[in-house]
């Protein structure tokens, strides 16, 4: 790719700003200075709007594969032809699908054009059945896996020569250098400056484990009676399941008389700023493919309590950046929260400077872009 500004054609499945999509936006913010990225998405949303604000072309083309009533696949040749026509016009050196189903329209096109197809593998769940494994084997030239847990499964399906580890990355917080005052944020949200505050940040999916934090709270409150909990996030993607899960958690907080302790802050575009007012970030999830929230908390110098599984197992360096608990074990979750808040037991080893160092070295957007460009270079030799 030396001597030219190569065009890379990216395909997205999701257009709301979840964790992975936020990292993709950061990648576009950096990649536009080294590449000519062009994006195809099946619909408009916050992510496509943000990409266009960067001056990057976005083409809205509904994907040709859809599922009637969630079960029966249907194929529409019109969108498939539009994607192929755009690719032939742009003549990209490579196509990169950021989600699994982008491989379905992109795979045949990449084969016809004789160019590589990179797939960002977000976890072993994307290879959970025979049909998905067939798609990956047939169409993916290379799987860039966001965590080792997904890497192992992808290697078993594709072969070790067709996979690599490429952690997602985050932009530096507040590059302009303005200071963020912990006390000022607390006063802004009408919280006692001396309160102990933990935060849960993420979508209202059952797998995100809000219910497990509520299971753990009574034991934590016994030891930390002035505890406050900020639940930051909302039901995204128009999902009825997420909306119902949020309603269930809100009802449970009310019925268990936790209203004075737990606050629902909703979606906050400034969640990374609010992190700096927390005493700990808790990720009570049953499973996580990567956990950008853990990286953002470490970059903020805030301890993380997360599940000892998937991405958090790799992201959180315990005990210097936080502690890991056994998933679905609310007693263990409570114990680890207490330890990290009281800085006793393994929590005493928390090092406020360790998280920022680790985030910069492994999980910065610049490190992610460097790994991505190196992969593109190898595949386009």
Query: Residue 57 CB: number of other CB atoms within 10 A?
Result: 15
Cβ(132)–Cβ(108) below 8 Å? no
Query: How is residue 171 annotated by DSSP?
Result: P
**pLDDT given at position 322:** 97
**pLDDT given at position 97:** 97
| Local confidence band at 241 (pLDDT 50, 70, 90 cut-offs) | confident
**Of 32-46, 60-74, 126-140, 144-158, which gets the smallest average pLDDT?**
60-74
Query: How is residue 196 annotated by DSSP?
Result: E
**pLDDT given at position 16:** 87
Query: Residue 83 CB: number of other CB atoms within 10 A?
Result: 23
Q: What is the pLDDT of residues 66-87, one digit of tens each?
A: 655 555 666 677 888 999 999 9
**pLDDT given at position 181:** 85
CA triple 228-233-239, angle to 5 deg: 140
Distance (Å, rounded) from C-alpha 203 to C-alpha 210?
10
Q: Can you tell me the mean pLDDT for 233-249?
A: 83
Which range among 5-19, 233-247, 341-355 has the greatest average pLDDT?
341-355
- Same topology, domains 7-171+364-379 and 182-361? Answer is yes
The CATH code belonging to domain 182-361 is 3.40.50.2000
Q: Can you tell me the mean pLDDT for 157-175?
A: 91
Distance (Å, rounded) from C-alpha 6 to C-alpha 22?
23
For the domain made up of 7-171+364-379, the CATH class stated in words is alpha beta
Structure tokens at 184: 């000022």
Contacts of 220 (CB under 8 A, 6+ apart): 227, 334, 337, 338, 341
| Local confidence band at 3 (pLDDT 50, 70, 90 cut-offs) | low
Distance (Å, rounded) from C-alpha 325 to C-alpha 70?
35
Evaluate if residue 161 carries a pLDDT over 80.
yes
Q: What is the pLDDT of residues 82-91, one digit of tens each?
A: 999 999 999 9
Q: Is 339 exposed, middle or buried (0-12, 13-18, 19+ CB in 10 A)?
A: buried
**Domain residue spans of the chain:** 7-171+364-379, 182-361
**pLDDT given at position 273:** 93
pTM for this prediction: 0.88
Q: What is the pLDDT of residues 320-356, one digit of tens each?
A: 999 999 999 999 999 999 999 999 999 999 999 999 9
**Of 190-204, 225-239, 264-278, which gets the smallest average pLDDT?**
225-239
**Of 27-36, 166-175, 225-234, 285-294, which gets the smallest average pLDDT?**
166-175
Query: Residue 120 CB: number of other CB atoms within 10 A?
Result: 24
Grouping H, G, I as helix, E, B as strand and the rest as coil, residue 230 is strand
Query: How is residue 364 annotated by DSSP?
Result: B
Of 173, 174, 169, 176, residue with least CA distance to 27: 169
Cβ(245)–Cβ(235) below 8 Å? yes
| Local confidence band at 303 (pLDDT 50, 70, 90 cut-offs) | very high
Evaluate if residue 60 carries a pLDDT over 60.
yes
Distance (Å, rounded) from C-alpha 52 to C-alpha 198?
35
Sign of CA dihedral 297, 299, 301, 306: positive
Of 339, 46, 347, 111, residue with least CA distance to 220: 339
Structure tokens at 264: 């629902």
Distance (Å, rounded) from C-alpha 42 to C-alpha 59?
8
Break the chain down into helix, strand, coil percent, rounded to 5.
Answer: 45, 20, 35
Query: Residue 248 CB: number of other CB atoms within 10 A?
Result: 14
What stretch of H or E contains 229? strand 227-232
* Mean pLDDT, the chain, whole residue set: 92
Q: What is the pLDDT of residues 109-145, one digit of tens each?
A: 999 999 999 999 999 889 989 999 999 999 999 999 9
Greatest C-alpha distance within the chain: 64
Element counts in the chain: helices (H) and strands (E): 15, 15
**pLDDT given at position 114:** 97
CA atoms within 13 A on the CB side of 204: 24
**Crossing angle of the two packed helices 354-362 and 365-379, in degrees rounded to 10:** 20
């Amino acid at each position: 790719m030396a001597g030219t500004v190569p065009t890379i054609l990216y395909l997205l499945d999701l257009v709301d700003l979840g964790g992975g999509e936020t990292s993709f936006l950061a990648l576009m913010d950096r990649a536009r200075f080294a590449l000519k990225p062009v994006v195809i998405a099946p619909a408009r949303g916050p992510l496509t709007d943000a990409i266009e604000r960067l001056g990057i072309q976005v083409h809205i083309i509904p994907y040709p594969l859809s599922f009637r009533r969630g079960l029966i696949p249907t194929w529409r040749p019109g969108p498939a032809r539009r994607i192929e026509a755009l690719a032939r016009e742009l003549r990209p050196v490579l196509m990169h699908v950021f989600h699994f189903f982008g491989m379905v329209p992109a795979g045949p096109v990449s084969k016809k054009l004789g160019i590589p197809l990179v797939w960002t593998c977000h976890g072993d769940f994307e290879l959970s059945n025979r049909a998905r494994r067939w798609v990956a084997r047939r169409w993916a030239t290379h799987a860039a896996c966001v965590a080792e847990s997904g890497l192992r499964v992808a290697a078993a399906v594709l072969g070790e020569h067709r996979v690599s580890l490429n952690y997602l990355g985050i932009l530096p917080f507040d590059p302009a250098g303005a200071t963020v005052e912990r006390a000022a944020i607390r006063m802004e949200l009408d919280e006692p400056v001396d309160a102990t505050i933990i935060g849960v940040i993420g979508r209202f999916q059952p797998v995100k484990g809000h219910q497990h934090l509520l299971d753990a709270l009574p034991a934590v409150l016994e030891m930390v009676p002035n505890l406050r909990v900020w639940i930051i996030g909302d039901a995204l993607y128009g999902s009825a399941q997420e909306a119902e899960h949020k309603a269930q958690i809100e009802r449970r907080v009310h019925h268990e008389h936790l209203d004075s302790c737990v606050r629902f802050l909703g979606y906050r575009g400034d969640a990374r700023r609010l992190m700096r007012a927390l005493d700990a970030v808790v990720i009570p999830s049953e499973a996580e493919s990567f956990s950008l929230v853990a990286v953002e908390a470490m970059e903020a110098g805030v301890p993380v309590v997360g599940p000892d599984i998937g991405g958090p197992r790799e992201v959180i360096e315990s005990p210097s950046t936080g502690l890991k608990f056994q998933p679905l074990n609310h007693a263990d979750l409570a114990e680890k929260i207490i330890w990290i808040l009281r800085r006793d037991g393994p929590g005493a080893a928390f090092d406020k400077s360790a998280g920022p160092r680790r985030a910069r070295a492994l999980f910065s957007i610049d490190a992610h872009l460097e790994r991505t460009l190196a992969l593109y270079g190898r595949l386009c030799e």
